[in-house]
């Protein structure tokens, strides 16, 4: 276990030089205080969890203090936003403080979001509000606990600093961690600004640090792009299987590592709805729940375009062709497991699609359905779940098909079925209304709810005593919350 001043830095991105990032100091928050910290994220830095409660913790992550070895930098990138190219973006309200490596030799970027203005702030104030910082913190850690790759969050620091959005709010910072903060948009930036040398430098950097095994391949850059395609196909399969809607899948929000990145108006589905749009500014539904699948491919094509100086167009196209089949295989595998199946049959895809259509038409809660399906034998579970469906004849027909399929799958006891299904079907997910309750309490200075919710979501598959209220469908007020984009 380490104390805060014992972190070891190795600032590899900063060493790329001024064409990649600009030195900027964090702008401190007034009266910084700990809102919530993640013990699991602290463990990744070998930090003793007790240090979160010390004043220096809030000072460090509230922008007042810096380690001597930190080199805060605002990174430059660009990206396709809602389909159109924006030539220059960058860390407008966040700084890469530095890269820390732990005792296991893993490197973690420390990125302080809400750290004030940078050369890339455009019209913004460089700040983040408490509301959005809490949402990012909870989502990062909850996704990780579900087994969905994501950037992590070490803590949220609240403050008295006034920040104007639709109304006056309070500034906050969230300390984000990831093995890299490089986005598709980094490659696009150097491609469209026609800086081949820097682009090659960036490609070498990513290859050496994050895809070193690709060095052994005859075409290392192509091998790396293939892996990026694979990781994104796997990631999006997980989003779809667990009902996560990102909301702003612009290429500047897509990680080169295939992890969930840059949280805005995201949401987990309550009722299953393939057409769900969590971002209220997304009038066309470009980033609706079901569109995440083709958009994943669209974004990879945008990255492929930026890699044309290194890889032939034919090879890029071939690699892009891996995306859909890989997505489908991963998705179907997850959905089979969610249904309690251990074998594969040709009709499984259709079994899943039929179920989702029925759930869509009846507005069935996506998370609770699968959890309850595993509570007892297939026959008893479908008999109990039947009441949630409007189209009873349709459901009965599906239930017959499902029961027969379960029977063919193999013989196992109710306990075995439950253990296997509960291990993949969470009881607790970050429903928007739960986050909202925690935010309202935190805005009035009570951080107990955000801490409790974080705790519950860190073990989503385990039924926790006295936490029934976190495993319910949303109340009426919590069903269609408009999550503001002004974060």
- Residue 125 sits in the site that holds ligand AMP (CB under 6 A): yes
Q: Which one of the spans 91-99, 169-177, 459-467, 476-484 is the region binding ligand AMP (CB under 6 A)?
A: 91-99
- How far apart, in whole angstroms, are the C-alpha atoms of residue 128 and residue 174? 8
**83 forms part of the interface with ligand AMP (CB under 6 A):** no
Among 26, 62, 90, 243, binds ligand AMP (CB under 6 A): 90
Of 90 and 374, nearer to ligand AMP (C-beta) is: 90
Judged by CB under 5 A, does residue 253 bind Mg ion? yes
In the complex, minimum distance from the CB of residue 448 to ligand AMP, in angstroms, rounded to a whole number:
28
Residue 251 or 330: which CB sits closer to ligand AMP? Answer: 251
Tell me which of ligand AMP, Mg ion, none is bound by residue 377, counting a contact when its beta carbon lies within the kind-specific cut-off of 5 to 8 angstroms.
none
Residues 6+ apart with CB under 8 A from 462: 427
Residues 213-272 that bind ligand AMP (CB under 6 A): 248, 253, 262, 264
Least CB distance to ligand AMP at residue 287 (A): 12
Q: State whether the Cα torsion 187-190-194-196 is positive or negative.
A: negative
Among candidate residues 218, 167, 188, the one with its CA nearest the CA of residue 81: 188
Contact range with ligand AMP by CB under 6 A, out of 32-40, 86-94, 144-152, 296-304: 86-94
Which stretch, 256-264, 338-346, 370-378, 446-454, contacts Mg ion (CB under 5 A)? 256-264
Residue 22 touches which of Mg ion, ligand AMP, none (CB < 5 to 8 A by kind)?
A: none
Question: Which of ligand AMP, Mg ion, none is residue 169 near (CB under 5 to 8 Å by kind)?
Answer: none
| The length of the chain, given as a count of residues | 487
Environment class of 343 (CB within 10 Å of its CB; exposed 0-12, middle 13-18, buried 19+)? exposed
Nearer to ligand AMP, 111 or 405 (CB): 111
**Residue 333 appears among annotated catalytic residues:** no
Q: Is 326 helix (H, G, I), strand (E, B) or coil?
A: helix
Q: Is beta strand 244-245 parallel, antiparallel or unpaired with respect to 267-268?
A: antiparallel
Binding window for ligand AMP (CB under 6 A); candidates: 90-98, 327-335, 392-400, 418-426: 90-98
- 262 forms part of the interface with Mg ion (CB under 5 A): yes
Q: Running DSSP on this structure, what letter comes out for residue 124? A: S
179 binds ligand AMP (CB under 6 A): no
Residue 362 near residue 389 (C-beta atoms within 8 A): yes
Count of residues that bind ligand AMP according to CB under 6 A:
16
For Mg ion, the closer CB: 253 or 432:
253
Does residue 136 belong to the site contacting Mg ion (CB under 5 A)? no
Q: Does 151 sit near Mg ion (CB under 5 A)?
A: no
- Of the candidates 91, 109, 252, 262, the residue annotated as catalytic is 252
C-beta of 234 vs 262, nearer to Mg ion:
262
Q: Which is nearer to Mg ion, 81 or 437 (CB)?
A: 81
**Contact stretch for ligand AMP (CB under 6 A) within 85-93, 226-234, 308-316, 389-397:** 85-93
Could you tell me which stretch among 117-125, 227-235, 285-293, 426-434 binds ligand AMP (CB under 6 A)?
A: 117-125
DSSP state of 465: T
- Given the complex with ligand AMP, which of 118 and 425 has the nearer CB atom? 118
Number of helices (H), then strands (E), belonging to the chain: the values are: 16, 12
3-class DSSP assignment, residue 349: helix
Kind and range of the H or E run holding 101: strand 94-101
Q: Does 126 bind ligand AMP (CB under 6 A)?
A: yes
What own/partner pairs with CB < 8 Å and gap ≥ 24 does 435-443 have? 435/134, 435/135, 435/138, 436/478, 436/481, 438/134, 438/138, 439/130, 439/131, 439/134, 439/135, 442/35, 442/130, 442/134, 442/158, 443/130, 443/131, 443/169, 443/170
Tokens 């999550």 correspond to what residue? 483
Cross-strand partners of 47: 2
Question: In this structure, are strands 84-90 and 107-113 parallel, antiparallel, or unpaired?
Answer: unpaired
Q: Does 425 bind ligand AMP (CB under 6 A)?
A: no
The closest alpha carbon to 209, from 80, 308, 109, belongs to 109
Q: Among ligand AMP, Mg ion, none, what does residue 260 contact (CB within 5–8 Å per kind)? A: none
Shortest distance, CB of residue 131 to ligand AMP, whole angstroms? 13
Positive or negative: CA dihedral 370, 355, 140, 9:
positive
Could you tell me if 232 and 164 are in contact, meaning their C-beta atoms sit under 8 angstroms apart?
A: no
Given a contact cutoff of 8 angstroms between Cβ atoms, the answer to whether 92 and 81 are in contact is no
Positions in the binding site for ligand AMP (CB under 6 A): 89-93, 120-122, 124-127, 248, 253, 262, 264
Positions in the binding site for Mg ion (CB under 5 A): 253, 262
Positions marked active-site: 252
């Amino acid at each position: 276990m380490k104390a805060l001043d014992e972190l070891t830095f190795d600032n590899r991105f900063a060493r790329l030089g001024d064409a990649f990032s600009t030195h900027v100091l964090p702008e401190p928050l007034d009266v910084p205080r700990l809102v919530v910290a993640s013990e699991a994220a602290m463990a990744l830095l070998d930090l003793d969890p007790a240090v979160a409660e010390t004043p220096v913790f809030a000072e460090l992550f509230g922008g007042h203090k810096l380690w001597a070895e930190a080199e805060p930098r605002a990174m430059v990138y660009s990206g396709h936003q809602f389909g159109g190219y924006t030539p220059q973006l960058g860390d407008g309200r966040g700084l890469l403080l530095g890269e820390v490596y732990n005792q296991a030799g893993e490197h973690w970027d420390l990125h302080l979001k809400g750290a004030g203005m940078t050369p890339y702030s455009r019209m913004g104030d460089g700040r983040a509000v408490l509301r959005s910082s809490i949402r990012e913190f909870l989502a990062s850690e909850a996704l990780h606990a579900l087994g969905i790759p994501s950037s992590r969050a070490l803590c949220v620091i609240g403050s008295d600093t006034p920040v104007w959005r639709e109304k006056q709010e309070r500034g906050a910072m969230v300390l984000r961690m990831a093995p890299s903060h490089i986005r598709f948009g980094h490659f696009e930036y150097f491609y469209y600004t026609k800086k081949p040398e820097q682009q090659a430098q960036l490609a070498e950097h990513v290859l050496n640090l994050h895809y070193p095994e690709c060095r052994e391949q005859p075409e290392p850059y192509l091998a790396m792009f293939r892996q990026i395609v694979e990781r994104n196909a796997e990631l999006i399969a997980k989003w779809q299987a667990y009902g996560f809607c990102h909301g702003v899948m612009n290429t500047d929000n897509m990680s080169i590592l295939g992890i969930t990145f840059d949280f805005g108006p995201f949401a987990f589905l309550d009722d299953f709805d393939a057409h769900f749009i969590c971002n209220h500014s997304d009038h066309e539904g470009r980033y609706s729940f079901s569109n995440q699948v083709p958009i994943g491919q669209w974004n990879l094509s945008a990255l492929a375009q930026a890699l044309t100086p290194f890889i032939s167009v034919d090879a890029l196209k071939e690699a892009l062709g891996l995306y859909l089949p890989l997505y489908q295989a991963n998705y179907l595998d997850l959905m089979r497991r969610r249904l309690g199946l251990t074998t594969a049959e040709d009709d499984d895809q259709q079994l899943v699609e039929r179920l989702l259509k029925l759930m869509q038409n009846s507005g069935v809660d996506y998370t609770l359905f699968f959890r309850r399906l595993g509570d007892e034998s297939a026959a008893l579970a479908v008999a109990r779940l039947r009441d949630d469906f409007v189209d009873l004849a349709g459901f009965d027909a599906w239930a017959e098909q499902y029961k027969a399929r379960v029977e063919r799958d193999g013989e196992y006891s109710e306990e075995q079925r439950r253990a296997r299904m509960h291990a993949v079907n969470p009881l607790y997910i970050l429903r928007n209304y739960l986050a909202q309750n925690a935010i309202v309490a935190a805005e009035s200075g009570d951080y107990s709810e955000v801490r409790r919710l974080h705790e519950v979501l860190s073990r989503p598959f385990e039924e926790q005593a006295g936490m029934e209220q976190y495993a319910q469908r949303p109340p009426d007020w919590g069903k269609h919350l408009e999550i503001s984009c002004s974060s």
